[in-house]
Each structure stands twice: as C-alpha cells, then as structure tokens.
Structure 1
Amino acid sequence: MVSTMADNTKKFITCDELKKHTKPEDLWISIQGKVYNVTDWSKIHPGGDIPLLNLAGQDVTDAFIAFHPGTAWKYLDNYFTGYYLEDFKVSEVSKDYRKLANEFSRSGLFEKKGHGVIYSLCFVSMLLCAVFYCALFCNSFGAHMLSASLLGLAWMQVAYLGHDSGHYQIMKTRGFNKLIQILAGNCLTGISIAWWKWTHNAHHIACNSLDYDPDLQHLPMLAVSSTLFQSIQSQFYGRQLTFDSVSRFFISYQHMTYYPVMCVARVNLYLQTFLLLFSKRKIPDRALNILGILVFWTWFPLLVAFLPNWTERVLYVLVSFAVTSIQHVQFTLNHFAADVYVGPPKGDNWFEKQTSGTIDISCSSYMDWFFGGLQFQLEHHLFPRLPRCHLRNISPLVQELCKKHNLPYVSLSFYEANKYTLKTLRTAAMEARNFTSPVPRNLLWEAVNTHG
C-alpha cells in the first residue's frame, strides 16, 4: 500500500516531452527512467559536452553504464528533476547487455588491469633507447632508417597506452593518469590528448554516423558512403562537409590512394591538434597540452637535425610516418567497411549500433601487443572501460549475446579486412564517378556481393 502511494506521488513526463530538452541551455537525459537536467554538468563533464548533446532528450542508460564506473551513480541525484519517464521500456538486448556488464563489474574485471601497462612502458622505453642510439651514435644509413622504423613502432605502442589511459585509469591516481596522457600523447607523439578525447568520445557515442562521427568525416580525401556526396552537415565540426569537384576527383581514386594517404595521415593529426589547442573552444588543461606539444616539437626536430644530410632527414620522417601508418590503417579497418547511418545516435538501440558499426580483426594471441587490444573492436566499444587484457576472454560472451539477438558480429583477418575496406572505398569511388548508379544500402554487403 505504501509502495502504491509512493508511485502515485511520482511525476511523469513522456518521451516526446523529454525530446524537447536537447539544447545546450536546456539539456535533459534519462537514466533508468529517471530524468536528469545536465545543462550545467555538460559544461564540466570530464568527457566533454559532445556525448551529452548527442544523446540529449533520450534515455541513455546503456551508454552511461558503458562509460562510467559504479561510483558515478551517486552523483546523479544532484541533477534529478523529480520526473520519471512515463513510457520507459527496456529492450531484451539492453537487459542482457546490462546483466553482462554487471557480471563483469561484480567480478572486478574493470579494476583488474594486469601487468600490460608495465610491459608496454618497458617495451616503449627499450624502443626509444634503440631509436636514439641508432640515430645519434651510428653512422650508417641502415642504422638511421632502422631508428626511424623503431620510432614509428614506438609511436604505435605509445598511442595504445594513451588510448588506455583515456578510457580507464592505468595509473594509481588521476594525477599520474593525466601525466601519462600528456607524456604519451603530447610529449612523445605530438598529438594532443585533449584533441583525442574530444574526437574519440564523440566517435564512441555516435559510432559510424556519417554526420556525428568525426572518424568518418575525411572529405576531400576519403568517403565511405555516397551519402557524403550530398554535402551533409557535420554536427561534430559544425560545418558543411562540402563535396565539390576537388573532393570528387580525390574520392574517385581513393581505393588507389588509400595507403599513400595513410602514410602521411599523421600530418593531419598534427594540424588538427594545433587547430584545436589554439581555437576559442574551451579546452581542459590547455596550457599543459600546449607545453607537451612544445616538448615534442623540440626533441623530434633536434633528433632529425642530428642526421648527416637532408636526404636522410626527409627519409627518416617519411619512414617513421610510414611505419605508424599501419596503425592508421588498423583504426580504419575497424569501421570503414561496416554499416553507416545518418543522424544522431539513439539511446534505445545503442548496443545494436555498436555491433553494426564495428568490425573485429581476428589474430593469434601473440599478436595482441601489436594491435593494442583494439582488434577486439566490438568488445571495446561495448565495454570501453574494460582493460585490454580481458577483451580476448570476453569475446565468446559477446559473440553469444549477438547470436542470441540475431545481431552482426563481424570478425575478419587482417588481410580480409583490408580487402573489404578497399572494396568499400572502390564502391564509393565508382559512385563518385557515376551519379546515376543506385546508392548502396550496406557497403560491406555491396563489397562482398558486387565486387567479389
């Protein structure tokens, strides 16, 4: 009787009413049917305001569970509006996903990080020692190119460390975790951790949305879907993704230029870092990020300057970039040939969007260090806070869940993933050359059934 009386005193709003609160100055969300006003919180949200704005006016329970530890729940009451969602429903997929996340949490998987960080730090230290020794104390051309190759490999491993520290705390305290982020990202690679967080959080929330996911917005050089030929509005960058004659030319040959573009993609990351850090946008720890970038642009040019001539200096930079391009290829393989869509992410099909927008790379366990755990891309997207050492172990559980709900679980070899990505790019390239051909419904399907 008391419970019934309590229910009668609750205040309810409908999903349609919740959808009216999607502006930065009026931002509401729902978590487990309780409605929260996160307008003020979005300004200081550690993950930035983009994830909250992208999911505004919706129930975001699954996304909240994925990105937040159990300790975050206690802060929600500060933003509770007093309203509950009247037509709140939970799908069977979400029920199973939350149950699995709860099992991982209760077993302590999110806290058990293993010794991977220590191994990675030692490996990177050894690589950097070899890099400086071969470049500074050896006189042969071969030793200098070996130094460049090892530097590219070191950058790859450092990026994985930065990625891990951005998703979960790999150090004992937040202060040390931030320190490793600045060292790994800004000081050692020249790519700002602030830029990475800004784009990467948006990517995870809006995985493979053509207008919300920045990881698919690469005009004029690359396009994974002919929908981009309509010059759609980028909700992330706040500008139009113009498909003009220049874009059409580059896209028409993108399946041929894909690997060369990946070899110099690092230049774009440096440019994006500078554009963000010196923009008017509010940047957390801006001064610290700029200081870290200055460290990189001090030691790296000095290292290159120690080489004996300009030929070796240019080749040194190109070789180091070319080796690192393997990682850029890895990242694109996980999403370029997967399903895409237009529009904001939806809180009620978050799990489904992750499964359709990601592709795993199958490999032997002894290659896990090389892929940094991100070959289990779907597992990582579903449980981004889970340390990489557990991703292989939970993979069968994720496959079982996908099979139960008739959802895609795509796992390809590195060779197959490259082949399908190239076919996807070629499909879009042919569309760029001929506007009369039909728009592909699903690029992975088109690649497999039309071109092979």
Structure 2
Amino acid sequence: MATTAPNRTRQREAVITRGQIARLIAEGRKVVIVEGRVLKVDAWLPFHPGGDKAILHMVGRDATNEVRAFHSAETQHFMHRYQIGRVEGQWKDFVPPIQGGTVSQLDEGSETAEENGDITHVDHDSSEEEHSQEPSPLFDPAERPTTSLKRRNPRPRTASESSATSLDTLELDPSALPNEKDSQLATDPTQRDIEIFPSLDPLTQQSIIEKYRQLDDRIRAAGLYNCNYTAYLYEFMRYATLALLSYYFLRQQSFSLSAICLGLLWHQLVFTVHDAGHMGITHNFHIDTCIGILISDFIGGLSVCWWKRNHNVHHIVTNSAEHDPDIQHMPFFAISPRFFESLRSTYYDRIMTYDAFARFTLRYQHFLYYPILLFGRFNLYVLSWQYIFLGQGPRKGPAWWHRYLEVAGQLFFWYWFGYLVCYKSIPTAGQRVGFILLSHMITMPVHVQITLSHFAMSTSDLGVAESFPQRMLRTTMDVDCPPWLDFVHGGLQFQAVHHLFPRVPRHNLRKGQGMVREFCEEVGIPYAIYGFTKGNAMVIGRLGEIAKQARIFADCQRSMTVKDALEGH
C-alpha cells in the first residue's frame, strides 16, 4: 500500500539515530547529511552529471558546506526530496566506504542493534521509486581519519602567526618549522600539519565553518557570484584575434606561426571552459554545459564532461594520494612517498603500480617535469575518448544527451583540425607532425598552472574531523601576479580562493582574495601565496625530494635482495 503524503512528510522529519545511519551505510545505502537532513541518494547516482564518485566520497558525512559551495539554491532545495529523516545536534562524520570505512568503523560509538531497533519508518523502496525518474544532484569532500594524531600546540593560531610565509616551508624545509630540533616534525608531514594548522577539535573546526559561512555571505553581498560579462567581451576579442591570426598564417603557409597562434587560442579557451564547468557564466546547468562543450569539444577536441567528472572529485578530496585524480600521474610523477606503496586509485579503480618503469622515472621526475608536460594535451585526448566512447558519463537524467553532443563535437574537431587543417592545408608529413607538436606544446603553461597550485602543497590525511575550508587552504596555493597578467593565468592563479568558492566567476576572484586573506588571519589558517617563479621552485623541490627518496628506496631494495641472496647460500 502506497505511503500517503502526510505520512511521508512525518517520516522525512523523524529523527534518525547515528546507529541507524550506520546500519543503512553498512547495507550499502548512500546516505549523506545536509543541513541536518538525512538524504538517501542511491537513486541519484546514475543521474549525477558530475559522476557517482563525487557523491560516494561524502557518504556518511555532513556535506552541507560542500553542497553550498557547488550548487545553486534551487538545486539545494531540490535535494530535499531525497530526505528520509533528520539528525539532532552536530553530526560526527563517518569514513565513507569508498575511502576504506568498514562496518566496524561505522558502528564505532553508535548504538547497538538492540538499541537501534528496526528502521521500518524509512521507506527505502518508495523513495527510490519516487525519484528514479526525476533525480537531483549532490557532491563533496572527505578523507580517511588518521589515528593517534596529537597536536603539541592545541590553541588556535593568532593572526600574526598565520602569515603566508609560515607555509613557505611546509613539507619542503623542516629547518624553518616552529621547533627546529623536533625530529618528529622534521620527518612526519602529518604531524607537521597538525602543528601548523588549527586544532582538529570540534569546537575549533566548527568556529572555522561558521566564519567561512559568514565569508560566503560577504562575497555574495559584494556581488562576486555575478558574472562580469564585459570581461568576456574582451575575452572573445582575444580569442577571435588568435583564431584569425592562426588562419591567416596557415594560408600564408607560415605553419609555425599558425601553430603557435592556435596553441595560444587553446590555452586561453581552457579558462572559459573552466568557468563553464563550474556554472560560473550563466549559472544555468545546461547553458553553461553547452558553452563548455562548444569550446572544449568542438574547438579543442577535449571532453568537458570528462573534465567535470574528474575535477569535481579533485575539489572534494584535494591532494589525497588514493582519491584525487589530479595528482595520480604514476608512473611519471609522485608527490608523496605513499605512491611507492602501489596504492589503489579509487577514481580510476586500479592499482597505481610502483613497478620497474616507475622506479626508474620517479628518480628523475624533477628533470622530466617540464618535458612531460609538453605532451600533456595528448593524454587529455585519451581520457576524453575513454569517457565519451566507453560511456562513463550519465546515461539517464538531465545530462543524458550531453554525451551525444560531445560525440558530435569530437567528429567536428577532427574534421576541421585533423582533415581540413593538418591534412588538406599542410603539404608534407613532416610539416604536419611539426604543426601538431608545436600547437600542442604551446599549451604546456596550462598544465604547469594546474599542477603548480597543488604539487608543492600538503598531501597529509588529517581525517574527517578537518573542515572543508581548512582542507582546501591546506592543500592549495595561490600564485601572486600583477593584475595586468591575469589574462595569462586565466584565474587559475587564484586556486585557494577558487577552491573555497568554486562557483565565483574567475574575473571576480581577485576581488575576493582580500576577503579570504582576512578570513585566514581571523581563523589562524596559513594562506599560501607565492610568485610564479617561487611556486615553480617549490614544485621542482618537492619532486626532487620524492625522487631522492625513490633512489634511497631502490638502494634499500637492492641491498635487501643481495642480503637475501647471500643468506640463501
């Protein structure tokens, strides 16, 4: 017998205990907490335009801050139809199953089965039937808890202690840490982060969250969520100029100049695609997605929907070795010695094997960094094709047709670029190869810009107790540059600000930077900002340090092999 509307309303407002939620998760249900509401989002997983991984990383967690950061007010209200109950008081996060949370971990601190009783008031089947035809979205961050974390200085940091320079040495120069003689801090990045950043106790983190929400209100009141369309007029003029120059030089058979202009065009277009992917242009999901597909697929040959799926997870589990696809570049790069353990990527669902090839390349990764990034765009083609043609995107819900538009975009791109430009307009095979390589290598600064904001930052796992704003600021840096150079960096130099407020259009990020600095001083979180040269030096330094550890690790393995061989005799 179907549940009546009044009964369903009472069910949705009923209090669900922590133990009952633990049991739901142990049964495989996808339960997320948003503003005290318990949402069971199983039915939404195949519909989510940003992919299911983004949701899975928030199962069992309070996703309020992340949902607010990534979704409009209308979408947040739409999520209420997935509500199956409410929780009382401040929610203490579980570890999501995708991050290694187990039944025993979920049950820890919860009521026993006898105390829980049956949760018959939660109408699972009717909930799934009701929403299977008309879903709603969700996403957010999480990390595995670290056991036995002790903070030597549990007090919140003062404004004077939270300068950008305090992070200048994070995981790079242990000698400049608060206590130079503390060997544990010098060798343990996690303990170092606990020393530098505010305490993980609930009161401190809740205070950070409250001030973060106040900051969001200030940014909204200042109109920074509104897109600056005048700025896009200048952007369009720049794009058109580069496109016309590339066509002109191609007709003049100045193939190198044509390739350079085309590469610069692709470089600039990436920034608008980034805005569109975050719905920062019109704030309409379908319109901004179509803008992104038109630019990324039709003009650039890359899948914006693949990028959104990848990028959403990156925003949620930033710099997590197991979970963030943006730092999973084995066997070419490793920014943490944890990659020596042959970790399993929860995003790619495969082992990132630390094999013989990886052992060789990682020893020289600081020398290979720029040369490999020259060919980064070719890797993006492969990832885009896998997403589109293997059907990794949603096939139901509001985004079902985006895949077919992207297929059309891919066909169009390879027709105009592959056939009309490379084959028909360039006479020899050697010149064609040169044109392709040069046009693609010119886009390398984008790949440097993307890795620059994270490769030198913390990869420590401080657990689910860490708040969303603190985690974003701990794992992300801004790049300092004069305003007249903003068009070169395209807003990606404000990554710390962007990670806190991903829906703020990039032309407004500089205006919000001052407010974020004030927030960091108030809550005692170090704000990381460096010049482009300094940032690159930090990245190379991090890669060099991990390369040194890889060499030491390889030497130890060889010594153990020799020792075992001798003992065998």
TM-score, normalisation: structure 2: 0.71
Equivalent in 300, 303, 318 of residue 421 of structure 2: 303
SS in 1 for 2:42: coil
**For 1:231-268, what per-residue CA distance to the aligned partner results, in whole angstroms no more than 9, with x for missing partners?**
11111111111111111111111111111100011111
Change (3 A) 1:36 1:174: closer
**For 1:19-40, what per-residue CA distance to the aligned partner results, in whole angstroms no more than 9, with x for missing partners?**
5545795111111222111121
Determine if the alignment matches structure 1 residue 222 to structure 2 residue 225.
no
Whole-Å Cα distance in 1 between the matches of residues 544 and 269 of structure 2? 32
Q: Give the stretch that moved more between structures: 367-376 or 305-314.
A: 305-314
Equivalent in 288, 294, 301 of residue 177 of structure 1: 288
Partner of 1:56: 59
Whole-Å Cα distance in 2 between the matches of residues 363 and 338 of structure 1? 19
TM superposition shift of 1:357:
0.7
Partner of 1:265: 376
Verify the 8 A CA contact 2:362 2:550 in the aligned structure 1. yes
Partner of 2:213: 98
What letter is aligned with 1:321? Answer: H
Whole-Å Cα distance in 1 between the matches of residues 388 and 525 of structure 2? 40
Determine if the alignment matches structure 1 residue 134 to structure 2 residue 138.
no
What letter is aligned with 1:11? Answer: V
What letter is aligned with 2:214? Answer: K
- 1:9-28 paired onto structure 2 within 5 Å: 11-14=15-18, 17-22=20-25, 26-28=29-31
- 1:193-232 paired onto structure 2 within 5 Å: 193-232=304-343
Partner of 1:409: 527
Partner of 2:237: 122
Verify the 8 A CA contact 2:273 2:304 in the aligned structure 1. yes
SS in 2 for 1:221: coil
TM superposition shift of 1:367:
0.8
Whole-Å Cα distance in 2 between the matches of residues 67 and 24 of structure 1? 28
SS in 2 for 1:91: helix
Partner of 1:186: 297
Partner of 2:543: 425
Whole-Å Cα distance in 2 between the matches of residues 416 and 211 of structure 1? 28
Partner of 2:38: 35
SS in 2 for 1:30: strand
Verify the 8 A CA contact 1:58 1:347 in the aligned structure 2. no
What letter is aligned with 2:32? Answer: I
Whole-Å Cα distance in 2 between the matches of residues 374 and 95 of structure 1? 27
Change (3 A) 1:266 1:211: same
Partner of 2:434: 315
Whole-Å Cα distance in 2 between the matches of residues 347 and 117 of structure 1? 40
Could you list the runs of 5+ residues in structure 1 that have no partner in the other structure? 1-5, 439-452
Partner of 2:473: 355
Partner of 1:448: none
Verify the 8 A CA contact 1:11 1:83 in the aligned structure 2. yes
Whole-Å Cα distance in 2 between the matches of residues 30 and 106 of structure 1? 27
Q: Give the stretch that moved more between structures: 104-113 or 383-392.
A: 104-113
Whole-Å Cα distance in 2 between the matches of residues 145 and 217 of structure 1? 33
The structure having more radius of gyration, on CA atoms, is 2
After TM superposition, where is structure 1 displaced by more than 6 Å over at least 4 residues in a row? none
Whole-Å Cα distance in 2 between the matches of residues 24 and 212 of structure 1? 23
Partner of 2:456: 337
Change (3 A) 1:118 1:423: same
What letter is aligned with 2:59? Answer: A
TM superposition shift of 1:405:
1.9
What letter is aligned with 2:525? Answer: L
What letter is aligned with 1:95? Answer: E
Change (3 A) 1:38 1:405: same
Whole-Å Cα distance in 1 between the matches of residues 489 and 27 of structure 2? 37
What letter is aligned with 1:435? Answer: F
TM superposition shift of 1:114:
3.7
TM superposition shift of 1:10:
5.1
SS in 2 for 1:229: helix
Q: How many residues align?
A: 425
Change (3 A) 1:282 1:165: closer
Partner of 2:142: none
SS in 1 for 2:31: strand
SS in 2 for 1:36: strand
Whole-Å Cα distance in 2 between the matches of residues 112 and 286 of structure 1? 27
Verify the 8 A CA contact 1:63 1:347 in the aligned structure 2. no
Change (3 A) 1:52 1:383: same
Verify the 8 A CA contact 2:227 2:281 in the aligned structure 1. no
Partner of 1:108: 223
Whole-Å Cα distance in 2 between the matches of residues 347 and 262 of structure 1? 35
SS in 2 for 1:299: helix
